[in-house]
Every structure is written in C-alpha cells, then in structure tokens.
Amino acid sequence: MASTSLYPLVCPSPTSAGRVCGLRFIAGYRVVHLQGEGFREVEDGLVPGAHPRPRRQPCYGRGARRAGVAVRPGSGVNGAVAGTVGCWHHRVMPLPRQVTIVEVGARDGLQNEDVILSTADKVELIGRLVGSGIRRIETASFVHPGRVPQMADAEAVMEALGPSPPGVSYIGLVLNQRGLDRAMATPVDEVNVVVSATEGFSVANQGAPMSSVMESVEEMVATAKAGGLFATVTISVAFGCPYDGEVEPGVVADLAARLGAYGPDEIALGDTIGVAVPADVAGRLALVRDAVGDSDLRVHFHDTRNTGIANVYAALTAGVAVVDASVGGAGGCPFAPNATGNVPTEDVLYMLARSGIETGVALESVTETGRWLAGLLERELPSAIARAGSFPG
C-alpha cells in the first residue's frame, strides 16, 4: 500500500535539473509517494511545518553515480524541467541557537604565509583572539619544521602560552605519532589528527599512503584520550583533491564510518582547496551523519572560490554547530596548489550575528585583530568585513 511522506530535498546533481531542484527545495519539502522501496509518483511542493526524519531515495542516473547513491528520472520543478532529480535527501534543520567558532588563524592562517611571525607575535595573536571571546583555538602544528617552517616554533609557542585560561581550549594539529608525542609534551588541551580522503594528498601532505596513516590513527586517538585530551579527526580534501581530482561522497562517508569506530570526540570535514558548494556540503554531511550516527561533526572551509560563507550556512542547515574560521581569512595549505585562506572569522561572525546565532565572540575585536595581523603579514587580508565594516556601523 502506498504511503505519503514529506522529505526535505537537496539535489547536488551535475545536470541543470538537479541544480534547479536543489535551489528550489533547499527551504522546503518534496512530497514523495512511496510503495515499498520504489517510487510511484513525485509531487512538487513547499510544505511548512515540522521536519520529519530525512531519507535517501532509490534512483538512477549520472548524477547519482557521482554521488554514490541513486537518482531516478523526475518531473523537474513545477513541470518546467525534466531530467535527473534527487540524489540526497537533506534534512533542513532549524539554525542552531549557538555556534562554536574554532579559530585556526594562528595555525592554518600562518602556515602558508611568506612572512614568518616571531613566537612573540604568535602568542600575542592568540591572546588577542582569546580576549575577543574565542574559546577553541588552534595554537600550533606539530609537523616537521623542514616541511612547514612557519610552524617550527610550536613548542616555544606553547611554552610561552602556558596552560590555557579557564574555559579556553588550545588545539595542536598532528599528522603522525611523532607529532602527537610532541603535542602531548606541551599544554595543549586538544589534538586534531588529520587523515586525507585521497592517496595523492596523503602522500603529498603526510608523506605516507592512506593505509599507513589509518593504521596509526586508531592508536593515536586512544593515546590522546588516555592522556586526557579531546581528540578530533579531520578528513582533509573531503570535497576535492588537487592531485586525484573528484572525491566520491561515498568514499568520504565510508572513511568517516571507519574513523568514527576509533572513538574520536569529533569528526571534521575539510574543504582543503575550496571547491565545495552548498548543495555538495549538505549532501556529504547527510551521508556522513548516516555513517557516524550521533558523533559530533565540525566543518573547515577554504574560501578559494568565494563559496566559504555559503558553505558554512549549508552546514548549519545540516545540523553542524562547530565551524573553523581564520581571522582575516589568512591561510592556505603548502601542499595544496592555489588553495587560498580559510573563510574569514569576521565574515562568519557577521553572518551568524545577523542570523540571530550566538557565538560569544566580539566581532569588532576580531576585526581589529585581523587588521593588526595584516600589518604583520605585510598584505591585505581578504575579510570583507575588514574592508566594508559591519552593519549597522
């Protein structure tokens, strides 16, 4: 017997029908008449009200093969467009009342800059950001100094900082067991363990194939947690790779499921080279959510193609409430050609504040810190708020 259910829909399909569908229904629902596991008919419409549990629809087509799920031929939007529709059913959740900003400017923001800041300047940068209300902040990267000389003073930075103030968490990024050992000898409160979604980036960024990295991650997470540290695992190049190209969403979901079994406190998806778009963000987060259950999720977007803010918003609608950002929009990856900085903290704060979302972070103070940092780096940083100012002024 047929049943009728209401499912929110995002369609990250390469076809024009999929794109139109994704835009049309991002804020609404699609009425799907189901019989068993197959379709009988699909009726378009926007329906306000409660959000039922999302589900993926079985289907066929080129867009679905890229997505790792199925897509069926559909009637398009209001009958105007025929072709592939569907791909992912994405629950458009209410925006969170509060979002945690993970400030990465002192690590990701500096690791690709031509100007190498002194230890004292890094410590002042971190102090300014904490004074602005930032409560989770990446303070150092425990990587080989020959590969990333901007981070060569990781231990010195942590020694100068000392234990974190009450309510503040210092984060160290690590790529391997050696990096973890170094981090745990300092006053960090958290570690961020990085795993690549592709072989090409794993070798370029970590100097090891994925299989070798994965063999060590489980032990690293266990060691960090046994030492009383909060452990995050970040999947880098989760949306696209500078060496291997497209990254299938199913690959990311499967990797997240494996990592989730290791027991990290948080799993992050990183758009390392800034190729993601909102529909892709929503779709991949839906698949990852299915794969990891109730594990906490976090997102990390680079703004290389000017989609960072939109991607943050898409992540919020998918239920994510922890967002990486970099003061001024500084940053980039030494091993990701043409990748520019992270989404600017100031711009994210402005968007969240105007959306009625609390962060506990003072926008004006962060903006002033971004301008101060730009002077040290001897270049203009890309933050739009730094240029245009907040509103109302």
CATH code of the domain containing 302: 3.20.20.70
Answer yes or no: is 94 within a domain: no
Alpha-carbon Rg of the chain, whole angstroms?
A: 21
**Tens digits of per-residue pLDDT, 267-326?**
999 999 999 999 999 999 999 999 999 999 999 999 999 999 999 999 999 999 999 999
Answer positive or negative: Cα dihedral of 314, 315, 320, 322.
negative
Q: Is the pLDDT of residue 64 over 70?
A: no
Cross-strand partners of 323 = 101, 299
Q: Are residues 310 and 271 in the same domain?
A: yes
Answer yes or no: is 340 within a domain: yes
Q: How far apart are CA 198 and CA 195, in angstroms?
A: 9
Answer yes or no: is 377 within a domain: yes
Which is more confidently placed, 41 or 195? Answer: 195
Q: Are residues 51 and 182 in the same domain?
A: no
Catalytic residues: 333
Q: Are residues 351 and 310 in the same domain?
A: yes
236-246 burial, b if ≥16 CB within 10 A, otherwise e?
bbbbbbbbeee
Q: Are residues 79 and 111 in the same domain?
A: no
Q: Which domain-ending residue is among 62, 86, 110?
A: 86
Give the domain extent around 179: 100-388
pLDDT band at 335 (very low <50, low <70, confident <90, very high): low
Q: Is 75 exposed, middle or buried (0-12, 13-18, 19+ CB in 10 A)?
A: middle
**Tens digits of per-residue pLDDT, 66-95?**
333 322 233 332 222 222 233 344 567 789
**Tens digits of per-residue pLDDT, 108-165?**
999 888 999 999 999 999 999 999 999 999 999 999 998 889 999 999 999 999 999 9
The predicted model scores a pTM of: 0.79
Q: Are residues 148 and 258 in the same domain?
A: yes
Amino acid found at 366 = V
Domain count, the chain: 2
**Tens digits of per-residue pLDDT, 336-388?**
666 678 999 999 999 999 999 999 999 999 999 999 999 999 999 999 999 99
Q: Are residues 56 and 17 in the same domain?
A: yes
User: In sequence order, what are the residues at sequence separation of 6 or more whose Cβ sits closer than 8 angstroms to the Cβ of residue 337?
Assistant: 242
Answer yes or no: is 92 within a domain: no
